[in-house]
Amino acid sequence: MLRAGALSMGALVVLGVSRLVHGSLISHSVSAATYGLVGSLIGITYVVALFVPAGLASAMTKYVAQSRGRGDGAEASAVYTSIRRLSDVAAIVLGAIAAVVAWWMFALTVVGSVHVGLLAAMFSAYSVDKAALYGFDRLARYGWLELAGSGLAIVATVVVVLSGSTQYLAPLTVGYAVVVVGSRFGLRSAVLRGGGARPVAPDRRREILVFIGLAALGAGSAAGLLQGVPLLAATFADARSVGFLVAAVTLVSPLYLLPRVLGMALFPAMSHARGGGAEDAVGRSADVSMRATMVLLAPVFAAALPLAGPILAAYGGRGYEAGAPELRLLLVATYAAVAAIGPINALASGTMREARIPVIASVVGCAVGLSLVAPLGWWFGGAGVAGAYLVATIVTSAGPMVAAARRWTLQWHGMVVRGVLALGGAFALATVFDRFDAGPLGAAVAALLCCLLATAVFAKDGKALLTAARRTPGGDPG
């Protein structure tokens, strides 16, 4: 798990940096309104590609890893081949849908719509092929492919900006294509050795299809809402606020690499433990991962809240500082999402009944967020839309936390209250400092105070984690 987490973090940090560089270069070369349009088009591709591809990717990782854990290489190859074929069909269909949606919403040219469709199709395939590398434990290969694709995307972005071209989506498409092609060539030998032509057993196929549907619904409801925030803001806020939200979503998107990294490490390990009947190990992993993320990340997120304005100014220019409230709300939402990743993966690795709980929570959270977008967006503009997303994230995270706490008899309520106090106090302090307009120095002082506040709130929890780590026997995988 540690090895998988470290390699995943390295690869996904590279991916996040490439997206930040792509967005920053474009935002400095076009107006905020144009940048808002570019972000909205990227949002379309992510929203369209997050549902079915996310389900296919989760199934790829879970069932390939399970088959390999049982020593059944033939089934692992058969599962990979079957899911990859579904992925190819889904990529083509979803690419066409994204192109039509973009043309209808923004009156794009045919060429512009085709570029949106290509990005959506390639992102769909990228999600599933990357998951296959995890299922076959080819993490080092994935890291090199991500580095190559992200580097090429940055170079292509520089070329697009310097040449005066308007093909701002092409660099991302090229970067994803590198991972797709590299994954398929890299896994050919493993699949051929296992006998990829063998069909999956009917009962296994039904189980996989049900899981794909559940994972697609849950991932699309949660992550799709984040990428759809700029699209929602375009309906209820002015173009300037949309630009702020696009910048805020772009800045927090790399932070979602944290739950993705944790999930990539936890999900295969928890699925393997479930297969071996080690239920208590799954509960311990869920407990430790949630406590560790809340304690270790609270000071980081608390310090980031007062720095929202300077961060936005560095990202898009001085005019973006006014989007600080939007970025702060999204940062708090990100913290809530990261904290729940352990319980979510613990439940998803189990029975279908347990796997439905995170999905139901995601759907309910998405529905609550969408119901609040209109009133909050009309009243508070972009900040209102970000607030609606925060409420949706809290609902999505609370369901799995409560269910996992009951399932394994875990005491989390006190820690959750302390998390609310730490982030809520930092948010209030950052808002107060805004009124004094103390500049970067004042923001730095406020960040230090917020960091110290969160550290003090979680001091006892941090000591407890250290004590537990010292008492863990050397051979205990927990």
Q: pLDDT per residue over 205-235, tens digit each? A: 888 999 999 888 887 776 667 666 666 777 7
Q: What is the pLDDT of residue 476?
A: 46
CA 341 centroid distance within chain? 11
Are 387 and 448 in a shared domain?
Answer: yes
Q: What is the pLDDT of residue 402?
A: 95
Instruction: Please tell me the distance from the alpha carbon of residue 22 to that of residue 16, in angstroms, as a whole number.
Output: 10
152: in domain: yes
- 3-state SS, one letter per residue, for 380-411: HCHHHHHHHHHHHHHHHHHHHHHHHHHHHCCC
Are 177 and 255 in a shared domain?
Answer: no
Instruction: Please tell me the distance from the alpha carbon of residue 132 to that of residue 56, in angstroms, as a whole number.
Output: 10
- 3-state SS, one letter per residue, for 442-463: HHHHHHHHHHHHHHHHCHHHHH
Radius of gyration over every alpha carbon of the chain, rounded to an integer in angstroms: 22
Are 327 and 311 in contact, with CB atoms under 8 Å apart?
Answer: yes
Are 152 and 243 in a shared domain?
Answer: no
3-state SS assignment for residue 230: helix
Q: Which one, of 222, 249, 258, lies nearest residue 43 by Cα?
A: 249
Taking CA atoms, 318 is separated from 69, 439, 445, in Å, by 53, 12, 20
Whether the per-residue pLDDT at 241 is higher than 90: the answer is no
pLDDT per residue as tens digits for the range 253-308: 767 766 667 777 787 778 777 766 778 888 888 998 899 889 999 999 999 999 99
15: number of Cβ within 10 Å: 22
Q: What is the pLDDT of residue 477?
A: 43
Q: What is the pLDDT of residue 176?
A: 94
What is the percent of the chain with per-residue pLDDT over 70, rounded to a whole number? 89
Q: What is the pLDDT of residue 352?
A: 82
Q: Which of 175, 200, 225 is the last residue of a domain?
A: 200
Are 335 and 312 in a shared domain?
Answer: yes
**Longest CA span, the chain:** 68
Q: What is the pLDDT of residue 223?
A: 65
What is the percent of the chain with per-residue pLDDT over 90, rounded to a whole number? 33
pLDDT, average across residues 239-263: 75
Lowest mean pLDDT among 150-154, 259-263, 455-459: 259-263
Are 173 and 217 in a shared domain?
Answer: no
Phi-psi map region of 107: left, alpha, beta (phi>0 left; psi -120 to 50 alpha): left
Are 217 and 174 in a shared domain?
Answer: no
Instruction: Please tell me the distance from the alpha carbon of residue 304 to that of residue 451, in angstroms, as a whole number.
Output: 9
| Residue 321 token pair | 């500082």
29: in domain: yes
Q: Which of 172, 200, 228 is the last residue of a domain?
A: 200
Are 88 and 126 in contact, with CB atoms under 8 Å apart?
Answer: no
- The pTM for the full model equals 0.75
Q: Which of 150, 172, 200 is the last residue of a domain?
A: 200
Lowest mean pLDDT among 106-115, 158-167, 374-383, 440-449: 374-383
Whether the per-residue pLDDT at 447 is higher than 90: the answer is yes
Residue the block writes with tokens 């119901």:
371
Are 195 and 215 in a shared domain?
Answer: no
- 3-state SS, one letter per residue, for 174-206: HHHHHHHHHHHHHCHHHHHHHCCCCCCCHHHHH
Q: What is the pLDDT of residue 215?
A: 86
Instruction: Please tell me the distance from the alpha carbon of residue 337 to that of residue 399, in angstroms, as a whole number.
Output: 12
Q: Which one, of 281, 266, 414, lies nearest residue 348 by Cα?
A: 266
476: in domain: no
| Residue 188 token pair | 């050919």
Higher local confidence (pLDDT), 274 or 355: 355
Q: What is the pLDDT of residue 335?
A: 93
Whether the per-residue pLDDT at 475 is higher than 50: the answer is no
Instruction: Please tell me the distance from the alpha carbon of residue 366 to that of residue 223, in angstroms, as a whole number.
Output: 10
Q: What is the pLDDT of residue 343?
A: 93
Instruction: Please tell me the distance from the alpha carbon of residue 126 to that of residue 209, in angstroms, as a whole number.
Output: 20
Whether the per-residue pLDDT at 309 is higher than 70: the answer is yes
Instruction: Please tell me the distance from the alpha carbon of residue 280 to that of residue 258, in angstroms, as a whole number.
Output: 24
237: in domain: yes
Are 94 and 216 in a shared domain?
Answer: no
Q: What is the pLDDT of residue 240?
A: 75
pLDDT band for position 366 (cuts 50, 70, 90): confident
Are 133 and 102 in a shared domain?
Answer: yes
Q: What is the pLDDT of residue 364?
A: 92
Q: What is the pLDDT of residue 438?
A: 67
Mean pLDDT of the chain: 84
Are 251 and 286 in a shared domain?
Answer: yes
pLDDT, average across residues 171-188: 93
Are 224 and 306 in a shared domain?
Answer: yes
3-state SS assignment for residue 21: helix
pLDDT per residue as tens digits for the range 46-75: 777 778 898 999 889 888 877 777 777 888
Q: What is the pLDDT of residue 471?
A: 59
Q: What is the pLDDT of residue 257?
A: 67
How many residues are present in the chain?
478
Are 248 and 389 in contact, with CB atoms under 8 Å apart?
Answer: no
Instruction: Please tell me the distance from the alpha carbon of residue 448 to that of residue 273, in angstroms, as a whole number.
Output: 41
Whether the per-residue pLDDT at 250 is higher than 80: the answer is no
pLDDT, average across residues 121-133: 93
CA 183 centroid distance within chain? 21
Instruction: Please tell me the distance from the alpha carbon of residue 99 to that of residue 109, in angstroms, as a whole number.
Output: 10
Q: Which of 229-243, 256-270, 417-431 has the highest mean pLDDT?
A: 417-431
H-helix segments, 136-256:
139-163, 170-186, 188-194, 202-236, 239-252
Name 78's Cβ contacts closer than 8 Å, sequence gap at least 6: 194, 195, 196, 197, 198, 199, 200
Amino acid letter for position 315: Y
Per the structure, how many domains does the chain have?
2
Instruction: Please tell me the distance from the alpha carbon of residue 45 to that of residue 105, in angstroms, as a whole number.
Output: 13
Instruction: Please tell me the distance from the alpha carbon of residue 178 to that of residue 148, in angstroms, as a whole number.
Output: 7
Are 227 and 193 in a shared domain?
Answer: no
292: number of Cβ within 10 Å: 18
Whether the per-residue pLDDT at 84 is higher than 90: the answer is yes
303: in domain: yes
36: in domain: yes
242: in domain: yes
Lowest mean pLDDT among 139-148, 228-237, 303-312, 376-385: 228-237
| Residue 368 token pair | 């609550």
Are 458 and 335 in contact, with CB atoms under 8 Å apart?
Answer: no
Q: What is the pLDDT of residue 20?
A: 81
Higher local confidence (pLDDT), 249 or 421: 421
Q: What is the pLDDT of residue 226?
A: 65
Expressed as residue numbers, the domain containing 94 is 1-200
Taking CA atoms, 381 is separated from 244, 247, 334, 384, 391, in Å, by 11, 15, 20, 5, 16
187: in domain: yes
Q: What is the pLDDT of residue 474?
A: 46
pLDDT, average across residues 413-435: 91
